[in-house]
């Protein structure tokens, strides 16, 4: 079943443009529900109280109508996985904690992409304050769009003013999968250039997936290698992220064990796990697991992915929402929690899956993956507090 274009486009826009950190919302009193699975990885490293609080959080989310949830918590070098809800509404099978479950992680991909660019900065192959035209001459040209006026830093920090190609119905990854279509980065950029610049480069923050298509193309131009190969060579293999990969064009199924992802289309809860990954690509096409994402963000903040100077550049953010204190650096969001701990990470939404993932500098990490967009925003700040506060 393919829903009307308006419904599909709306779903994609909400997914890929999900606030790339967290939104402060009020806690909601919800009946607990779902089924908790025991974790084979539980150890004394993660406190019992933390595990209980996280389990209650995802039970509440499932009780509010989300099909399934996976929470992965890391503390003192140990990781615990907890689940709630079902992996498949047809069988009511619970989501297992072993083996690791893969999900699509949407815009969490952006942190990986930014890290690759910053590695090239450390190698003096890219300069953050150099115009995009230096590396991709003539790529960005349109009404109010000029690659000679947009810097690499502005691309990574969403300060370019580029319109979001994800707003275009041609860029819906679920419909493209159903219709057996792929999309090249150049075709996506043509959609961007056909729009209009939303503001002057550097004027303000404005989230756009187009920025990270440009970043992916920059990586390929500078290295001479496909983005997926550079990702594998520079980050995935060194960190041992065996459950993480970028699917190629036309690879619409998830390779490993995974819960189905759902969305309500034309009033029917529908399995939308199969999508066309070439559309979100370097902006949101990654598949991963909670364990891998916790390891990645922990390693990133510990200085095992970037040199100190580039990590500081990545963490240096501009305000998103003064009321909540959220900020966005170079592919990395941050917020200081009420307990004083500072969270660094990203959120991501794509058809069927919503994810928030990140860590603190002292080694705690959390990934929560939902297999259906919640109708009511959960208390994400509360969830982060339970997982990350000392």
Residues 6+ apart with CB under 8 A from 329: 157, 313, 314, 315, 316, 317, 318
How far apart, in Å, are the Cα atoms of 264 and each of 8, 268, 272, 369, 375? 10, 5, 9, 18, 10
Nearest to 82 by CA among 57, 55, 109: 55
Catalytic residue among 26, 39, 107, 278: 107
Place of tokens 């917020």: 335
Burial letters 316-350, b for 16+ CB under 10 A, else e: ebeebbeebebbbbbbbbbbebeeebbbbbbbbbb
How far apart, in Å, are the Cα atoms of 115 and each of 14, 39, 101, 122? 25, 31, 24, 10
In whole angstroms, give the CA distance from residue 307 to residue 318.
21
In whole angstroms, give the CA distance from residue 113 to residue 130.
18
Q: Is 107 among the residues known to form the active site?
A: yes
How far apart, in Å, are the Cα atoms of 285 and each of 47, 52, 163, 334? 33, 32, 19, 22
In whole angstroms, give the CA distance from residue 1 to residue 178.
8
Partners of 78 in beta bridges: 75
Known catalytic residues are 107
């Amino acid at each position: 079943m393919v829903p009307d274009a308006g419904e599909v486009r709306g779903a994609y826009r909400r997914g890929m443009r999900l606030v790339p950190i967290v939104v402060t919302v009020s806690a909601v009193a919800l009946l607990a529900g779902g089924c908790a699975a025991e974790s084979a990885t539980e150890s004394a490293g993660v406190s019992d109280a933390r595990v209980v609080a996280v389990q209650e959080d995802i039970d509440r989310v499932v009780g509010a109508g989300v099909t399934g949830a996976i929470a992965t918590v890391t503390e003192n070098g140990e990781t615990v996985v907890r689940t709630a809800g079902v992996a498949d509404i047809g069988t009511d099978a619970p989501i297992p904690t072993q083996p690791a479950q893969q999900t699509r992680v949407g815009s969490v991909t952006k942190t990986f992409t930014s890290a690759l660019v910053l590695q090239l900065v450390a190698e003096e192959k890219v300069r953050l304050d150099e115009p995009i035209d230096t590396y991709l001459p003539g790529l960005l040209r349109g009404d109010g769009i000029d690659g000679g006026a947009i810097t690499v830093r502005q691309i990574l920090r969403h300060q370019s003013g580029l319109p979001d190609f994800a707003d275009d119905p041609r860029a819906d990854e679920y419909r493209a999968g159903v219709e057996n279509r792929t999309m090249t980065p150049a075709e996506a950029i043509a959609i961007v250039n056909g729009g209009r610049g939303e503001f002057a480069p550097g004027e303000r923050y404005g989230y756009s997936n187009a920025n990270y298509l440009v970043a992916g193309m920059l990586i390929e131009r500078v290295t001479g290698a496909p983005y997926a190969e550079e990702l594998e060579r520079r980050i995935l293999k060194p960190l041992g992220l065996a459950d993480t990969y970028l699917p190629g064009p036309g690879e619409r199924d998830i390779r490993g064990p995974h819960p189905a992802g759902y969305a309500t289309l034309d009033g029917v809860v529908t399995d939308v796990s199969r999508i066309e990954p070439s559309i979100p690509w370097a902006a949101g096409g990654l598949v991963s697991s909670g364990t891998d994402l916790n390891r990645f963000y922990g390693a990133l903040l510990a200085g095992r992915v970037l040199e100190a100077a580039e990590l500081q550049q990545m963490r240096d953010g501009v305000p998103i929402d003064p009321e909540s204190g959220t900020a966005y650096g170079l592919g990395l969001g941050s917020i200081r929690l009420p307990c004083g701990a500072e969270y660094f990470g990203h959120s991501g939404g794509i058809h069927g899956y919503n994810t928030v993932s990140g860590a603190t500098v002292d080694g705690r990490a959390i990934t929560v993956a939902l297999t259906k967009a919640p109708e009511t925003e959960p208390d994400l700040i509360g969830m982060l507090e339970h997982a990350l506060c000392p």
